[in-house]
Structure 1
Amino acid sequence: MQFVIIGAGRVGLRTARVLRDEGHEITLVERDEPTIRRARNQDFPVIEGDGSREPVLEEAGVADADALGALTRDLNVNFTACMIGNHHDCRTVMRIDEAYREGIYRKYANQVDEVIYPERLGAIGAKNALLGGTIRAIADIAPSLQVVELTITDAAPVNGYTISELHLPADATVLAFGKDTQPLEIPTEDLSLEAGDRLVVLAEFDVLNDVRQLLVGETPMEAAANAGSGSSSVSTDRDADSDTGGAN
């Protein structure tokens, strides 16, 4: 595939290296001379100029590109570049700063294909390292939505239940399931949950602590500390039948 990346700084250059290592064609657009030299020293083709100007992007090959990544620190440049990319039927990815996260996401999310904020992605990686092996944040889908992978533990209230007996909070959905070290797959209702199994869940931030208590077996205090605020009341169908606690 062919990609145009505006901005050859830290984020743009690392993204370009990953894509090139996977066999894709990359053209960078940059206007800062030292940054241009650094990218060219790594054998990247670089178009010198302002990435918010259509003639510059046309020189970079936007008309033939599969996607355009506007990855500079300048929000206005990024948005303008994405609008030009849209005009040329490119997939568009726009970087925003963490400080702009909420307002900018709401304003621009419907006008580009993807909004990213590298600071948050870096924080997800740090959070995964701190939390250890039973919980892994995968991605933020929207300001209030996150995809997480959780590993069932011996202490999990749902250990031994089937998928059909699992009832997560209303604002959470199971996306995929994997038996221990097996590949993830779409879950079926008769699959049994056992220690070591993994569930990928899409959830609102407000209910992540409930989900963690249910699938990992954290105490309410541990779940609240790790996943943020939210209620600690959970129940399951099987527990409801036997008058013990569980997930709704």
Structure 2
Amino acid sequence: MRVVITGAGSVGRSIARELLHNGHQVLLIDKDADDVQASRVPDAAWLLADACEIAVLEEAKVHECDVVVAATGDDKVNLVVSLLSKTEFGVPRTVARVNNPKNEWMFDESWGVDVAVSTPRLMTALVEEAVSVGDLVRIFQFQQAKASMVELTMPGESPYIGKRIAEIQWPDDTVLVGIIRDDRPIAPSRDDAVEAHDELLFITTPDNEDVLEQMLSPGTRPPRDEDYR
């Protein structure tokens, strides 16, 4: 996979190192990068230029890459890079860093953003995930697909404890993608039974998050037939 990363600060360099370690091709673009920064990620290709200019993105052959990661510390730059990558060069996937949570509402498909990553929101989700039992926690949202990854730790009083996956009817557009049990990830099968304190990971839509939480957690109304229509 070929990945272009705009912004060679600590975040961009960290992403580049991980991708390179996993065998991907990486090009870093930064107008302020110097030889010291380049030497920190010697296996990446570098382009010292302004990623907000179309000519620079053309030179970087963005149209040939699989993913563009807008990882600068400036939200305006990340939005412009995402929009140009998507509309001018048809990049299949864009991932944009959100620096100011107040700007998060702009990071959607109208600005060419497929996945928005907000560090404050992600840290909040991880804190909530660590201490919440029975509460649905949104890990992140896929902007283009209008879907989100959510987590719920099963309380011992849930009516679904002991039930097999095949016996549970999830809300529409909801998929159980993983179970974390005793600190080990499990790929759920139809015959797996839900246990107390299992961490269930779902891909679902924002409209179904409340339904899913009410369904699995005690003390809420039981799901009605219309919830699944």
- Does structure 1 residue 122 correspond to structure 2 residue 123? yes
Greater mean deviation of Cα atoms: 207-216 or 9-18: 207-216
How far residue 94 of structure 1 moved from its aligned partner, in angstroms, is 2.8
- Does structure 1 residue 38 correspond to structure 2 residue 12? no
AA of the residue aligned to 1:154: G
Where structure 1 has 5 or more consecutive residues not aligned to the other structure, the ranges are 221-231, 238-248
Which has more helix, going by share of residues?
A: 1
Match of 1:105 among 103, 108, 112: 108
Contact 2:108/2:114 (8 A) holds in 1:
no
| Counterpart in the other structure of 1:215 | 216
Greater mean deviation of Cα atoms: 73-82 or 175-184: 175-184
| Counterpart in the other structure of 1:71 | 71
The DSSP-based 3-state class of the residue aligned with 1:20 is helix
Where structure 2 has 5 or more consecutive residues not aligned to the other structure, the ranges are none
Contact 1:40/1:46 (8 A) holds in 2:
no
| CA distance 1:126–1:8, change in 2 (3 Å) | farther
| CA distance 1:148–1:5, change in 2 (3 Å) | same
Aligned residues with identical type, % of pairs: 28
In terms of Rg, which structure is larger?
Answer: 1
Q: Give 1:42-191 correspondences, 5 Å limit.
A: 42-43=41-42, 44-86=44-86, 87-91=88-92, 92-96=94-98, 97-105=100-108, 107-108=110-111, 111-131=112-132, 137-142=138-143, 146-163=148-165, 166=168, 173-176=174-177, 178=179, 180=181, 183-185=186-188, 188=190
2: CA distance, partners of 1:24 / 1:157: 45
Residue-pair matches, total: 220
| CA distance 1:63–1:191, change in 2 (3 Å) | closer
Contact 2:107/2:116 (8 A) holds in 1:
no
How far residue 20 of structure 1 moved from its aligned partner, in angstroms, is 1.3
Contact 2:179/2:200 (8 A) holds in 1:
yes
| CA distance 1:32–1:177, change in 2 (3 Å) | closer
Using the size of structure 2 for normalisation, the TM-score is: 0.71
Aligned-CA RMSD value: 3.9
How far residue 22 of structure 1 moved from its aligned partner, in angstroms, is 0.8
Greater mean deviation of Cα atoms: 208-217 or 157-166: 208-217
